[in-house]
């Protein structure tokens, strides 16, 4: 009898990261931000000047990643080789590299067990692209959270503006479309709802509304 998992998959900007965090807090569950593992792999590759075409080296990097997630001031900090790289892994250049690295089957294979190791009592909330399809196919609650590309670009734009970063909405929309395209059309674990996932569209619902719906499902199934 393994601890229960709630999987939350979906494209970037759908709000799944926020929902996953709130839900884990609410339920007292552990949290797996699987995207951070791909981002950390990408950052390590960029730091080591490894070509993103060199699949064997990328897989080696993914297997040997020295990473840790630490709680700092209520936030989860991502540590690579002892250094807090939480901000670095959110940079656009790393986002783009992460989606390339994530298309390499040997990298996904190298990260699979690491992700499964996050499963612990009393439960886990896992956020990503293939949590419900590949990593935790036996999860009792699977959510697939979407929103239109325009809405997701707008959210990202507001977020960056709030931080004083100047970007163009058009560039963000293009980036989002490029990443969606790569995530959905790759051969290895493409972004897609599991057959038994509940699909929620957050284009016109706010975070609280989505959280309520997810909590209802958890109450019914766990």
Using CB under 6 A, list all residues that contact ligand C5P: 12, 34-35, 38-39, 98-99, 102, 128-131, 179, 183
The distance of closest approach from Cβ of residue 49 to ligand C5P in the complex, given in angstroms and rounded to an integer, is: 21
Closest CA to 187 of 108, 94, 95, 98: 108
Q: Pick between residue 54 and residue 216 the one whose CB is nearest to ligand C5P.
A: 54
10 labeled part of a ligand binding site: yes
The distance of closest approach from Cβ of residue 21 to ligand C5P in the complex, given in angstroms and rounded to an integer, is: 12
Q: Which tokens in the block code for residue 12?
A: 């970037």
Taking residue 166's Cβ as centre, other Cβ atoms within 10 Å add up to 6
Say how far apart CA 162 and CA 60 lie, in whole Å. Answer: 37
Q: Pick between residue 199 and residue 216 the one whose CB is nearest to ligand C5P.
A: 199
12 labeled part of a ligand binding site: yes
Between vectors from CA 78 to CA 184 and to CA 156, what angle results, nearest 5°?
50
Q: Pick between residue 70 and residue 216 the one whose CB is nearest to ligand C5P.
A: 70
134 labeled part of a ligand binding site: no
Q: Which tokens in the block code for residue 177?
A: 């479309």
**81 to 48, 58, 85: CA distances (angstroms):** 13, 17, 9
The distance of closest approach from Cβ of residue 219 to ligand C5P in the complex, given in angstroms and rounded to an integer, is: 26
| Residues in the annotated binding site | 10-18
| Residues in the annotated binding site for ATP | 10-18
């Amino acid at each position: 009898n393994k601890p229960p998992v709630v999987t939350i998959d979906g494209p970037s900007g759908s709000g799944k990261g926020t929902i996953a965090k709130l839900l884990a807090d609410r339920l007292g569950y552990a949290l797996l931000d699987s995207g951070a593992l791909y981002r950390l792999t990408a950052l390590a590759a960029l730091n080591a000047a490894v070509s993103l075409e060199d699949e064997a080296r990328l897989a080696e990097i993914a297997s040997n990643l020295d990473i840790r997630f630490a709680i700092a001031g209520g936030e989860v900090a991502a540590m690579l080789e002892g250094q807090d790289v939480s901000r670095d892994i959110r940079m656009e250049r790393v986002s783009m590299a992460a989606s390339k690295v994530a298309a390499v089957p040997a990298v996904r294979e190298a990260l699979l067990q690491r992700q499964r190791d996050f499963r612990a009592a009393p439960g886990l909330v896992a956020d990503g692209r293939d949590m419900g399809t590949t990593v935790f196919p036996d999860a009792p609650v699977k959510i697939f959270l979407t929103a239109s590309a325009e809405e997701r670009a707008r959210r990202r734009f507001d977020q960056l503006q709030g931080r004083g970063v100047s970007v163009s909405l058009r560039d963000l929309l293009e980036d989002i479309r490029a990443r969606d395209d790569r995530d959905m059309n790759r051969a290895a674990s493409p972004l897609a709802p599991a057959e038994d996932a509940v699909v929620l569209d957050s284009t016109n619902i706010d975070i609280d509304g989505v959280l309520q719906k997810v909590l209802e499902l958890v109450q019914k199934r766990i």
